[in-house]
Amino acid sequence: MFQIDKFKEIPFYCYFLALSSTLILIGVEWDISWHSSIGRDTFWSPPHIAIYLGGILAGLTAAYIVLKQTFISNDMPTVRFWGFKGPMACWITIWGTIAMLTSAPFDDWWHNAYGLDVKILSPPHVVLAMGIAAIIFGSVLSILSEQNRRAKTSNNAFTILYLYTSSLLIVMISVLIMEDSFLNKQHSLQFYNISLTLLPIFIFSLIKPSRIKWTFTIISIFYMIHRMLLIWILPLFEAEPMLTPIRREITYFVPPPFPLILVIPAIIIDLLRSYLKNTSFVMKNIIYGVSLSISFYIVQWYSSILLLSSFGRNWFFGTGKTIPYFVGKMYKDLNPESIHYGKMFRKVGDTYINDSGETVKLLQPELNDYTFWLLDRTPYGDLQILEPVTFTSFTPIIIFCIISCLIGSAIGGWLNRVKR
C-alpha cells in the first residue's frame, strides 16, 4: 500500500536534483516560446534566469554531496575523482552544470555575432543541451542508485520520483526534435526517421530499471501532462514580436507543438513486456521495435490529421498557435508553377470546400497552418522537399528502431545494476 511517509526515506539531494531538472526544462521551453513570440532581446531574460538558476542549484547540490562524502561522512558508495569522493550521479551533474555555465557566454557571443537563431541546435545550444541532459540523467541516476541499494525493500515513493524524472528526459528529447515534429510535418519520412531512432534508446533504457508493469505508460502520461500544461498556460500571457522579420501578428506566448501521443504505443509495449519475459534479449527487442514503430506511425499519422482539422483548433489542443512569428508566411512566395505547389496548398482563385461544407474561392494566399507540408525551408531560406512515407522508405526506419531498442535495453541493464 502507498504511504506518504515513504517519501521521507528519499535523500534530500534526489529531490533537489529533480527540482533543478524541472526548473531547467520549464526555462528551456519558456525560452523557445520567448524567441518564437518576442525574439531575443537580452541575455538576462526571465527564461534564461530560470535555466541557469536550475543549473546552479543542481551543481551546488551535487557539490555539497561530494564535499560531505569526502570530508565529513562517507556513508554511501562513491566514485573517487581527483581525490574527491561522491556518487556517480553527482559527478555527472557537476559536469552538466559546468557545460551549462560554459555555454552561457558562448551563446551570448553567438547571438551578438549572428543574431537570432535559425535552428534550436546552434553550437552554443548543443553545449547547453549536453549539460542539461547530463543534469537530468544525474537526477535519474541518483534515484536509481538509492533504489538499487534498497533491492530487498519496496518503496513506491522511489518509483514515482524515478518515473517523473524519467519523463523529463523524454521531454528533453521532444524539445530537441521539436522543429521536425510539428503536426504539419508528421506525414513526412524525416519526422518518423528522427523520432523512431532517438526515442527508443531513451525509452528502453528507462524501462528496464523500473519495478512496475506500466513504466512506459506512466512516463508517457507525465510527459504529456508537462507539455499540455505549457500549451494551456503560455498563451494566457501577452507577447509582441520585437525583432524582425515579423511575418505574422502574435499577441500571446507561442506554446510548443502538441505532444507526441506516446501513451498508446506505451500501453502496447508494457503489455508485451509482461508477455515476453522469458523471450531472448534479441527477439524481444525485435518485437518491441516492430511494435513501437508501427503503432507510433499509425497513432501519429491519424492523430495529426485530426488535430489539423477544425477539431484541434481550440485552447485545449492549441493547433494553429504553435508557429513562431518569423515563419508565418514561409510558403507565400512559392512559385505557383512548381510541381510541388498544388500538393502543399491551394492557389489564389482555387475553389474548395471549407470546414463548414461550403464551396468557397480562395481570395488570398494561405498561410498553410492547417495542411501537411511536403516542402520546408532550410535555415538559409532554401526550399527542401520533405520525403513522403512509403512502405519501402519506412522499412529501414523499423530496422533503425529495432537497433535503438537493443541499445536502450542494454543501457537499461547497466542502469539496473548501478549502486554508486
**pLDDT digit string, tens, across residues 371-390:** 777 766 655 555 667 788 88
**pLDDT digit string, tens, across residues 201-252:** 999 999 988 878 899 999 999 999 999 999 999 999 988 888 777 777 788 9
Please give the backbone phi and psi of residue 254, each rounded to the nearest 5 degrees, phi first: -70, 125
Task: Report yes or no: 279 and 287 within 8 Å, Cβ to Cβ.
Answer: yes
Per-residue model confidence (pLDDT) at position 153: 57
CA distance to 158, 176, 365, 387, per residue, from 147 (Å): 6, 29, 58, 45
Which among 188, 167, 172, 407 has a CA at the least distance from the CA of 297?
Answer: 188
Q: What is the CB-side half-sphere exposure of residue 356 using CA atoms within 13 A?
A: 3
The reported pTM is 0.84
- Return the number of other C-beta atoms located less than 10 Å from residue 284's C-beta: 19
Percentage with pLDDT > 90 across the chain: 35
Q: How far apart are CA 141 and CA 129, in angstroms?
A: 18
**pLDDT digit string, tens, across residues 312-363:** 888 899 887 888 877 654 444 444 444 333 334 455 566 656 556 677 665 5
- What radius of gyration, in Å, describes the C-alpha atoms of the chain? 23
Q: How far apart are CA 241 and CA 202, in angstroms?
A: 36
Q: List the Cα angle 53/72/96 in 5-degree steps.
A: 30
